[in-house]
Amino acid sequence: MSVLDGSRNESPADTEGVDAGRAAGPSARMSGRRRWLLPTAVAACLLMTGVGSASAAEPSPADILQAGAQKGVADGYPGVIGMVRRGDTAQYVHAGVGDRATKVPADPKAKFRIGSNTKAFISTVLLQLEGEHRLSLDDTVDRWLPGAVAANGYDGKKITIRQLLNHTSGLPDYLGSLQISTPYFLNTNPREVLPPQKLVDIGLARQAPQSAPGEKFGYSNTNYVLAGMVIRIVTGSEPAAEVQRRIIEPLGLRDTDFPTEDPALYGNYLHGYVLRAILIDDATVSNVQVTGNAGAIVSTLDDLATFSRALLGGELLAPAQLAELKTTVPVDAAGNAGYGLGIEHVKLPCGKSAWGHDGAVLGYFSEWLTGEDGTEQVLHANNEFHMLGGTQGQADTGKAMTDAFCAL
């Protein structure tokens, strides 16, 4: 294992030219992904004493990711962590702090909230259930959740489970409602009870349908709240329990949890921060029911990499379901991105392609890229998110992730 260190900087985050946050905020990042500007448990990482063999003129992927982490801290993030993996060899980078109070360095082995990266876990469970012939992705939502989507012009009889998972349902995002986003951003009641159906109802009330089911891509967290509700009805168990039994335990993801009520983090974790005006507040303890089945999982870089490699490598899904996972709908007019079932396929500027996703919840932002067979991976995370996308820190760390993947 090689760990690269970086300098610390605690200046406030740049808020110019922002869009609204994705998994933790209304509008652009939640309704459409950032356009990437820019297994069984993996074997123990090779112990290394250096960063890599590349010359100074040709920085290694880890060098590139480290430089991006340092830029992210200079841009205002308290801390940034990252990981580059080729096969079973992993290198880690970090810059800044994981706790502003104690100044402890950001630990690339620490836990963090992974936000919308949760969606791939939920879609995997539903694909497994289809493989077990317990449901079909072409079943309507109303088939399993009668009356759950039946307001303001929306009809669950016309929306399929598949359309939930690839965000073509046309359903509005409940996180775009000030009723949800304002108290969540202010973190006024981390223990407020928010049943899934209430979140759905709030989402449906936001606006009348803007497109027909299946017509076009439109990112909405409401889709995955409903997807989790389907899991509950089909299995008789909570989605978190199914994720634990079907994914976390078989892959040995010892540092991954799916909290459903407790808003705290435990063990070795990054503190999460949120910029409000010129102040930056600790938001480590936040309401997990706000994001729920759309974004509540807590994990680490190692566990997230293990999961994504196992998923894309066919260890969790039968071939037919793996093909469905990777069947995409267009995300942008240029054709540079397509959304599958909880994951996205992107064409990078260097000519390479990758699968990936990002996650943004109060206090945390993370992203990952994995190659087609899972042997090449780059991930990064930071511990500040204030429900706005398009910040300089996101651009700099995201570009470093893309460039590092291209250099693999």
Specify whether the CB–CB gap between 84 and 404 falls below 8 A: yes
Can you tell me the distance from the alpha carbon of 198 to that of 241, in angstroms, rounded to the nearest whole number?
21
Can you tell me the distance from the alpha carbon of 202 to that of 220, in angstroms, rounded to the nearest whole number?
13
Q: 167: phi > 0 → left, psi -120 to 50 → alpha, else beta; which?
A: left
Can you tell me the distance from the alpha carbon of 186 to that of 11, in angstroms, rounded to the nearest whole number?
21
Specify whether the CB–CB gap between 143 and 164 falls below 8 A: no
Q: In the numeric block, which tokens belong to residue 7?
A: 């300098």
Can you tell me the distance from the alpha carbon of 360 to that of 366, in angstroms, rounded to the nearest whole number?
7
Q: State the pairing for strand pair 2-4/89-99.
A: parallel
Neighbour-count burial of 351, counting CB atoms closer than 10 A to its CB (0-12 exposed, 13-18 middle, 19+ buried): exposed
Can you tell me the distance from the alpha carbon of 133 to that of 127, in angstroms, rounded to the nearest whole number?
10
Q: Which residues contact 299 (CB under 8 A, 6 or more apart)?
A: 111, 112, 114, 117, 253, 255, 256, 257, 307
End-to-end, the C-alpha distance of the chain in Å comes to 17
From the candidates 27, 31, 116, 123, which is the catalytic residue?
A: 116
Q: Which residues contact 290 (CB under 8 A, 6 or more apart)?
A: 175, 180, 184, 194, 199
Instruction: Based on the residue annotation, tell me whether 116 is a catalytic residue of this protein.
Output: yes
The 3-class SS string of 143-158 reads: HHCCCCCCCCCCCHHH
Alpha helices of 9-138 — where are they, by DSSP H?
28-31, 61-75, 118-131
Specify whether the CB–CB gap between 150 and 336 falls below 8 A: no
CA dist 32 to 35, 106, 137, 203, Å?
8, 29, 22, 16
Catalytic residues: 116
